């Protein structure tokens, strides 16, 4: 493993190792090894970030390293200099390059040019670090992942794609339900199934959540989709996660959301802030998951 641009860059064995380390290092009083002592990690952000930046910076610090956060206007990828040159420069100083980009192809070009590990902190195609945090959350909540059922209702976006791959690698079943025209890409569904994943596509959101251990949704209007906001809200209205939809999953099902959330749109306040919501555990696990991922990447070099 050299780069993690999508969850499938991890083997099932590596995925289990990342989750095991995340769980172990999370324990009170755990001795987290200073694998980055005397080294830096570059954190490049072409898009705004709250949880991703703070969790990753904190992860680097607790591994003994120094996070170097860089904003888009400070670098100007492919405007001031090429993605390849940016990657080579940052790799000169830093042990790991992590980036949140608009175009996934920029990450691929950086990974090809850099001689240090490159980690995807979010792109238009994937959000693997979020998916790792979600698996860690589900593992804690459910006591295991194998054979568990996850229902994702809403936009078939980058988060949904990474979750689909993550479910396949971890032995979970995943059910996807989206309005027509907003489904997860066929390539992702086929890829997850080729990995042995059980992926169901269900048009009716109420039917999709039946028997699910967790119900997951995301914002209807992601960054870059603002010009489609009105059309998206109209199309997604039947996919709102309210008490009725969550109850259709069963009394033990939990609610998940990667945030930021919009109460009254993709989820009601009653569900998001209710006792079955584990969104704040997901937030906490963002740091633990990315710390373990960076730790494994550094250890394997």
Q: Which of 17, 51, 127, 288 is catalytic?
A: 127
Q: With H, G, I as helix, E, B as strand and everything else as coil, classify residue 15.
A: helix
Q: Which of 51, 125, 232, 258 is catalytic?
A: 258
Burial status of residue 121 (CB atoms within 10 A of its CB: 0-12, 13-18, 19 or more): buried
Q: Which of 17, 51, 100, 291 is catalytic?
A: 100
Is 276 noted as a catalytic residue in this protein? no
Q: Which of 3, 124, 155, 218 is catalytic?
A: 218
Spatial neighbors of 119 by CB under 8 A, at least 6 apart, are: 3, 4, 5, 96, 97, 98, 99, 129, 290, 293, 294, 297
Is 53 noted as a catalytic residue in this protein? no
Using the 8-state DSSP alphabet, how is residue 48 labeled? -
Is 58 noted as a catalytic residue in this protein? no
What percent of the chain is helix, strand and coil (3-state, nearest 5)? 45, 15, 35
Compute CA distances 294 → 33, 67, 188, whole Å. 12, 12, 25
Is 258 noted as a catalytic residue in this protein? yes
Q: How many CB atoms lie within 10 A of CB 79?
A: 9
Compute CA distances 231 → 161, 226, 228, whole Å. 22, 10, 6
Is 218 noted as a catalytic residue in this protein? yes
Give the separation between CA 87 and CA 82, rounded to whole angstroms: 9
Rounded to 5 degrees, what are φ and ψ at 253?
A: -70, 140
Q: Which of 17, 125, 286, 291 is catalytic?
A: 286
Q: Which of 39, 130, 134, 149 is catalytic?
A: 130
41 pairs with which residues across the strands? 67, 96
Spatial neighbors of 147 by CB under 8 A, at least 6 apart, are: 171, 172, 173
Task: Give catalytic residues, as residue numbers.
Answer: 100, 127, 130, 218, 258, 286
């Amino acid at each position: 493993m050299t780069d993690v641009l999508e969850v499938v860059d991890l083997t099932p064995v590596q995925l289990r190792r990342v989750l095991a380390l995340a769980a172990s290092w999370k324990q009170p009083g755990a001795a987290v090894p200073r694998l980055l002592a005397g080294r830096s990690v570059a954190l490049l952000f072409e898009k705004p970030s709250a949880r991703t930046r703070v969790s990753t910076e904190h992860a680097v610090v607790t591994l003994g390293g120094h996070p170097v956060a860089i904003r888009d206007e400070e670098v100007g990828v492919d405007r001031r200099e090429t993605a390849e040159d940016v990657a080579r420069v940052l790799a000169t100083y830093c042990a790991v390059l992590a980036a949140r980009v608009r175009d996934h192809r920029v990450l691929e070009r950086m990974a090809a040019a850099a001689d240090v590990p490159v980690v995807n902190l979010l792109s238009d195609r994937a959000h693997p670090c979020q998916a790792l945090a979600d698996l860690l959350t589900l593992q804690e909540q459910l006591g295991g992942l194998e054979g568990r059922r996850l229902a994702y209702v809403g936009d078939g976006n980058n988060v949904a794609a990474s979750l689909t791959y993550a479910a396949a690698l971890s032995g979970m079943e995943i059910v996807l339900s989206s309005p027509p025209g907003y489904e997860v890409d066929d390539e992702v569904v086929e890829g997850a199934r080729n990995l042995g994943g059980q992926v169901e596509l269900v048009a009716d959101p109420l039917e999709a959540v039946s028997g699910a251990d967790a119900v997951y949704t995301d914002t209807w209007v992601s960054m870059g989709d603002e010009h489609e906001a009105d059309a998206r809200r109209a199309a997604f209205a039947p996919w709102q996660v309210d008490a009725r939809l969550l109850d259709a999953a069963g009394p033990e099902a939990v609610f998940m959301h990667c945030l930021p959330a919009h109460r009254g749109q993709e989820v009601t306040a009653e569900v998001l802030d209710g006792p079955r919501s584990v969104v704040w555990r997901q937030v906490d696990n963002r740091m633990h998951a990315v710390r373990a991922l960076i730790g494994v990447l550094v250890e394997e070099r």
